[in-house]
Chain A
Amino acid sequence: MVRLTMLAAAGLFTVCATGALAQATTLRVLDTFTETSDGMDALVAAFEEANPDIDVQRDVQAVDDMRPTIQTALNSGTGPDVFYYDTGPGFGGVLAKAGLVRPLDDFYASGALDHIYPWTHERVTFDGKLYGIGHAVEFLSVYYNADLFKEHGLSAPTTYQEFLGLCESLKNEGMIPIAFGNAQGWPAFHTFSLYANNMIPQDRLKAMIAGEESWDTPEIVGAIQAGFVDLDKNGCFNPSVNAASYDDAIALFTSGMAAMVMTGSWIIPTLQEAPFNVDFFFLPAPEGGTTTPPAGLSSGYFVSAATQHPEEAERFLKFLFDPANANYWVEGMSVIPPYIVDPATVTASPLMGRTMQALSSDTMGLNIDVLTPEAFNTVMQDGFQAVLAGDRTPAEEATALQAAMGQ
């Protein structure tokens, strides 16, 4: 009898447990945090603990793999519920226009995202509707070996002439002034963004990105000339920039062989491992320009239009963007969330701390390649390599850029 009662109790427990499990909703999430996957797993685990009725099935994919596959995945109707993808008209905008992502206007209107920087809204707004939440604020600057600068009595430049003088001094010391690897083509995007933002007023640059103003202008020619031809001719870069990769350039810098590297704040986790102190300065604008460091969003979160779990998706996003969880991003993944982070709530390295401080205090420009269409980026990629190889003049490249934007 006792055995029978125990069996009945076990059966009842099994039924109850099965029922509870059946109630858990599976939310499929796809992101591109390949190198900081553990940090993202920790954040997801915290969400699941706080929301036991939701089971997050997280997949991670490299950015280069995500771009060609996400459209097919969403189109097939079997894609993720929530995914992390490039913002801007050439990426998230294409999906929005095809009706593959869900508008989030009501979610924004609920007040759950009031703390998100308003300037991020325009990066995820297409045809007047908000389709995503921009994330991972980044900026481009010049990172330098602070110990080496100190050793040689050098300091961060405040004018462009000082910057050129710095290159000359370092070259005379037998060092590589700036590590630059452009084998992949895209590292040149950042150099171009740094110069274009410094040499062209923001309203005009916005108009160019929107296709309302020509790229074939003397200022664009000047930016290409100064950022690629002149720096290369003056020996500011390492040799064979088109053959060296981005990773090679970072290795040159972190090994102490090069004094500076122009890149984005996403590289901070790597730079922090260098055996010397690293600091950064914003590339000073040439005479007549305004120093305007390009900043932007790495990507953004979107919700599939085909999701069967919109409410769960919004709960997940609310958790990700909750300022109380900022430490998961900053400390766990070296990612700067798109809102003012209370320094008391996070544990950040000195470099990360200065980066967050700079973002909240300086006027920021536009990171061009995340906003322009893929065809334009292809012309930048191939064209800047050609300019660096001496196969194309800056004027020819400016004409090619305008032709690509015209398409």
Chain B
Amino acid sequence: MARAPRSRLQARQRAGFWFVLPALVVYLVFFGLPFAATIWLSFTEWSGVGVPHFTGPANYIRLSQDQAMWAALGNNMIWVVIGTVTPIFIGIILAVMLWSNARGSMVYRTIYFLPVVLSPVVIGIIWSWIYNPLFGLLNTGLRTIGLGSWAVGWLGESETALYAVLVTAIWSYLGFCIVVLFAGLQKVDPELVAAARVDGANSQQRFRHVIVPQIRPVLTMVIVYTVIGGFNVFDVVWVMTQGGPNNATEVIATYTYEVAFRANNYGYGATLSMVMSVVALLAAWATMRMRRAEGGR
């Protein structure tokens, strides 16, 4: 009698396995195998034609001396810090404001979310026009209000290019943060907020000690997602500057692309992509550990 439920359970498990199998096969073919091949390629020298030559750890030794790689990684760090803090900070403020004042929140959420539905390529092109030093909206506007001396080639100056691209990325990503955090806020217990108000907590205290702890899982998810995106960023940078001027906006993904597909050095390109993967995974793991240490889940 006791075996019947177990066999039913096993049958259900088998059925579950068959249901999962197609997705597993797709995952293995389009992610698992290429990932394994990339690991293998990272230990070779290969121009894209002929047979790859196994070179052992030579590519990884080269990494340590590759100044361009370190510069690109530095740009990624700037991207991760500014590109994570800014949209989440602005996003959480706007999300709380929308949550507190439900009237018209749907309209605002739609407006904020609109850039998210645009392709990064389209966003990059549009913002390149805005930044255009000759015909661009930004410089034209600055000249119109008498700030012509501030009108510079935003994407052509080493000092401004990375931040100009970052502003674009933040603009396009902000809506996602707002909508996800707003969804997280729906689980916040209004009675706890009201109780805190009765207890004399000001708005800052209510936000920090009552609201944030309740949206911590969502917040962690957004941070991890943003950090990983910061290390993998490619499209908007490529469309707007291709890593220029003079590598000022080069990030690890654009550098990897150039090494692999322009210089036809697929072996070292694979090594760089491994760096990108490992750094993103470490950053995500560290973020989650940090949140857990603070008591989140």
Residues of A in contact with B (beta carbons under 8 Å apart): 67-68, 71-72, 74-75, 94-95, 98, 100, 183-185, 238-245, 248, 251-252, 374-375, 378, 381-383, 385-386, 389, 391-392
Contact = CB atoms under 8 A, between A and B. Distances in A.
Interface residues of B, number: 29
A94 B49 contact: yes
A374 B263 CA distance: 6
Interface stretch (B17-25, B102-110, B238-246): B238-246
Contacts of A391: 158, 246
B134 A386 contact: no
Contact of B156 (A71, A94, A240, A251): A240
A389 B245 contact: yes
Which 4 residue pairs of A and B lie closest in terms of their CB atoms, listed nearest first?
A243-B156, A240-B153, A243-B153, A242-B156
A242 B157 contact: yes
Given A374-B263, A378-B258, A389-B157, A244 B132 contact: yes
Interface of chain A, main secondary structure: helix
Interface in B131-156: 131-135, 152-156
B283 to A, nearest CB: 28
A75 B244 contact: no
Interface string B24-66: 0000000000000000000000011110000000000000000
A26 B101 CA distance: 66
B285 interface: no
A243 B133 contact: yes
A67 B260 CA distance: 11
Contacts, number: 95
26 contacts: A68-B260, A68-B261, A71-B47, A71-B48, A71-B264, A72-B48, A74-B49, A239-B153, A240-B152, A241-B153, A242-B157, A242-B244, A243-B133, A243-B152, A243-B156, A243-B245, A244-B132, A244-B133, A375-B263, A378-B262, A382-B247, A385-B246, A386-B246, A389-B245, A391-B158, A391-B246
Interface of B: 47-50, 128, 131-135, 152-158, 241-242, 244-247, 258, 260-264
Give the one of B156, B241, B263 with max A CB within 10 A: B156
A71 B246 contact: no
A184 B261 CA distance: 17
Given A98-B49, A242-B156, A252-B134, A382 B262 contact: no
Contacts of B247: 382
A321 to B, nearest CB: 27
Contact of B49 (A100, A378, A382): A100
A94 B264 contact: yes
B155 to A, nearest CB: 5
Given A95-B49, A239-B133, A242-B246, 12 more contacts: A71-B48, A94-B47, A239-B134, A241-B153, A241-B156, A242-B156, A243-B157, A243-B245, A245-B128, A252-B134, A378-B263, A385-B246
Contact of A185 (B47, B134, B154, B244): B244
B132 A248 contact: yes
A303 B53 CA distance: 27
Given A243-B133, A244-B133, A68 B244 contact: no
Given A75-B48, A378-B263, A391-B158, A240 B133 contact: yes
A248 B135 contact: yes
A67 B48 CA distance: 11
A270 B137 CA distance: 25
Contacts of A95: 49
B134 A244 contact: yes
Given A67-B261, A382-B244, A238 B156 contact: no
A183 B156 contact: yes
A185 B260 CA distance: 19
